[in-house]
Amino acid sequence: MRTVCGVDEAGRGPVIGPMVIAGICASLNLLEEIGVKDSKKLSPGRREKLAKEIRKIAHRIEIRVVEPEKIDSLRMEMTLNEIEVLFFAEIIDALDCKEVYVDAADVNESRFAENIKSHLKREVKIISRHKADEIYPAVSAASIIAKVERDRRIADIAREIGDFGSGYPADPRTTQILKDYLQKHGTLPPHVRKSWKSVKKLLMEMSQSNLDAF
């Protein structure tokens, strides 16, 4: 049986919660048998079921959870793409594979692969493609593992600070809970990426609103 390895992330863009990056190595035949697909095209229930099946058949699974504080700290020195490169490389090293499929975060697929290679401890063939989670079963499986792990952590955060919707900057529910929390506590809620432009803009608007009140 041919073993394939893939890496993908979940939660790159949200303003609330961590980014989760997952890598898996498993039999291609078995991945095809259980019917893995891009996690975004699956219902939460189906993702949960597939995640359990993937864990049973995978030779190896590696997960890295990049918390908002870590993202903010790294973004003082690098771009989000460069952050992904670092953690993709860390996972690929841990997978100890000779060939890996990755979902390209860079507009330039080959550049994303070369950047990852520059951080690896050994020579690895990297197949970097946009929408790799729709093309390669190993990346589909990685996307499912990453999404399920992130969803679990998002559920914990929601229990802590209340329902905040999708967590994306464009979500009115997300924006509203940030505003409400700021007005009530004078600070942002936990688990927020303070380096996001939308958060900086909100802080400026709230600060100006408070000044106008005097």
DSSP for residue 3: E
Which pairing describes strands 99-103 and 3-10: parallel, antiparallel, or unpaired? parallel
Summary mean pLDDT of the chain: 93
Q: If pLDDT is split at 50, 70 and 90, which confidence band does 214 have?
A: very low
Class of CATH domain 3-158: alpha beta
Instruction: Output the six-digit token pair for 167.
Output: 């967590």
- To which residue do tokens 């509203």 refer? 176
Question: What is the length of the chain?
Answer: 214
Chain centroid, CA 193 distance in Å: 13
∠ CA 200-67-59, nearest 5°, is 145
What mean pLDDT is predicted for residues 2-15? 96
Give percent of the chain above pLDDT 90.
84
Superfamily for domain range 160-212: Ribonuclease hii. Domain 2 (1.10.10.460)
Q: Point out the least confidently predicted range of 97-101, 142-146, 197-201.
A: 197-201
Q: Residue ranges per domain, the chain? A: 3-158, 160-212
- Distance in angstroms (rounded) separating the CA atoms of residues 10 and 18: 9
Chain centroid, CA 87 distance in Å: 10
Instruction: Output the six-digit token pair for 25.
Output: 């190595």
pLDDT in tens, 49-96: 999 999 999 999 999 999 999 999 999 999 999 999 999 999 999 999
pLDDT in tens, 14-42: 999 999 999 999 999 999 999 998 778 88
Which pairing describes strands 19-27 and 60-66: parallel, antiparallel, or unpaired? antiparallel
Chain centroid, CA 182 distance in Å: 26
pLDDT at 207 over 80: no
pLDDT at 193 over 90: yes
